[in-house]
Chains A and B, each alone.
Chain A
Amino acid sequence: MVTGWFAGEGDDFTLLGTRCSACGSVFFPREDSHCRNPGCDSGDLAEIPLSRRGRVWSYTDSRYRPPSPYVTVPELPWEPYTLIAVELAAERIVVLGQAVPGVTVADLAVGAEVEVVPGVLHEDGETIWTTWHWRPTGVTA
């Protein structure tokens, strides 16, 4: 779906961003053509893995089926998913993502630690689209 936003498997799975070689600004989703710091005119951006763990900035869920282009199976009952916005300390950035299936808002608190893990966005007969999920640390399901 989106290329170059994450890589690796299992404990090596990470989100991928880019960093400006001139000013050190970090970008996610990745910025490859030019640095967006208005005080920097560099176009030299290198791929970097983002921190795997961060703290919950906020969270919510989606109790109603989102519209297309989100892919759902209309014949199946809607299962709400949880969204978590996560602060990564080293990068000083907040990254939004879905929680792993089964984690609800009742399992979360602002400031709690979560880590990034691979997840399935959608699958059909031919393809499985991978994405990133946030999972509270200490949860292994």
Chain B
Amino acid sequence: MTGEVAVLGAGMHPWGKWGRGFVEYGVAAARAALADAGLEWRDVGSIVGADTVRGGYPGYVAGATFAKALGWQGARVASVYAACASGAQAVAAARAQILAGLADVVLVVGADAAPKGFFRPAGGDRPDDPDWLRFRVLGATNPTYFGLYARRRMAVHGDTVEDFAQVKVKNAALGALNPYARYRKRVSAEEVAASAVVADPLRLLDICATSDGGAALVLSSMEFARRRGVAEPVRIRAVSTVTPTYPNTVLDLPDIATDSAAAVEPADGTFRASIARAAYEEAGVGPEDLSLAEVYDLSTALELQWYEDLALCAEGEGAKLLREGATAPGGRIPVNTSGGLASFGEAVPAQAIAQVCELTWQLRGDAGARQVEHARVGITANQGLFGHGSAVITVR
């Protein structure tokens, strides 16, 4: 146990394709989080920004960019980039500052204005960049990796495309209840099956879109929360930011090949499983303690993989857990109550922060029609390019 920090405020800018700059979304989310916390921007001792790499130069210095937009007030600043794990690493940086006594109150902000269509690497001729190489040499987009995982699950575990579609059906029904979600319409299995194949066996409605969006959190020391009269805040008890162990034998973005296991035996369990395990160990809780989970459903099939990697069920039993209704509202462990990326789309630096926003609202009992009854413990899970793993555990 390393100590807890309080989540005093959570805020978002609604996700969609709004056609504006990421700073605007981030500032809106930050102001919402500050209002939720009942604090002024001047009360904040430190700001941590999760970087976008598509916003030009200010995107790489997101912390200061948001601080300037909110009005310079002298706060300590940091900026974090870890692809899809950027938001979780921003939370980790903020938490470390609080636990080290460097700041009482830290504002964490992530926002993006995503391009239409496939994500792509930065321009230029850059054969020393693995992300550039997989596009140039193979034309391997993100959905093709999702397709590889999906097909592998079908071959090894017997998952079906109908199972995958049911993940979308579940998440779309939840997204329809979330005012911050981009897609707020229920989807049927027939609609998934009727959508175009993008990367066999996955269809358009199996794969998350790219979106604009922003999310922010106000974190504080437990002592500060008590002084403010917040006796029982939602607390962050663990932030996992682990890397893989050599040899990493599951093909993953953006790699063209796995590590070879010729000389060193792989560790038990995969990298994705180690992300959750580290969070459970740090928090002193297990999967049986969870009330809900927010996982990166970049594709429907990947959500089933996370069930197993979070140890919500045994390996190969993800689809069974879904079919039983365990991960649906009212089930034993509802997953992606926010609607997930299926309903939000990807706004890369914001999404891991948005996951913690959802846990916060759920643990406070403020999640409205999608509320999980008696929610006490929640986990988020995600993974960023190049070996970034992240999970956050919150309790109340």
Q: Do B257 and A23 touch (CB < 8 A)?
A: no
List the B side residues contacting A38 at CB < 8 Å.
Answer: 246
Chain A interface mostly helix, strand, loop or mixed?
Answer: loop
Chain A residue nearest to B245 (CB atoms) is A38
In the assembled complex, the Cα of A90 lies from the Cα of B263 at a distance in Å of 11
Q: Do B151 and A110 touch (CB < 8 A)?
A: yes
In the assembled complex, the Cα of A94 lies from the Cα of B262 at a distance in Å of 12
Interface residues of B in 69-125 (CB under 8 A from A): 117-118, 120-121, 123, 125
Chain B residue nearest to A35 (CB atoms) is B263
Chain B 229-251, CB within 8 Å of chain A: the 1/0 string? 00000000000000000110101
Interface residues of A in 112-141 (CB under 8 A from B): 121, 131
List the B side residues contacting A25 at CB < 8 Å.
Answer: 247, 260, 262-264
Q: A25-B264, A29-B256, A57-B251 are in contact. Are A96 and B152 (CB under 8 A)?
A: no
Question: How close is B110's CB to chain A, nearest CB, in angstroms?
Answer: 24
Q: A28-B257, A91-B262, A110-B156 are in contact. Are A70 and B135 (CB under 8 A)?
A: yes
A100 within 8 A of B: no
Please give the number of chain A residues whose Cβ is less than 8 angstroms from any Cβ of chain B in the complex.
Answer: 46
Q: Do A98 and B139 touch (CB < 8 A)?
A: yes
Chain B residue nearest to A56 (CB atoms) is B155
Question: How close is A106's CB to chain B, nearest CB, in angstroms?
Answer: 9
Q: Do B147 and A60 touch (CB < 8 A)?
A: yes
User: Which residue numbers of B lie inside 8 Å of A, CB to CB?
Assistant: 117-118, 120-121, 123, 125, 127, 132-141, 143-144, 147-152, 155-156, 196-202, 246-247, 249, 251, 255-264
Task: List 17 additional contacts besides A95-B257, A105-B200; criterion CB under 8 Å.
Answer: A2-B127, A20-B263, A25-B264, A28-B260, A29-B133, A29-B256, A60-B144, A60-B202, A61-B147, A68-B120, A69-B121, A70-B135, A93-B260, A94-B249, A94-B257, A96-B148, A98-B139
In order of increasing CB-CB distance, the 4 nearest A-B pairs are A60-B147, A110-B155, A92-B261, A70-B139
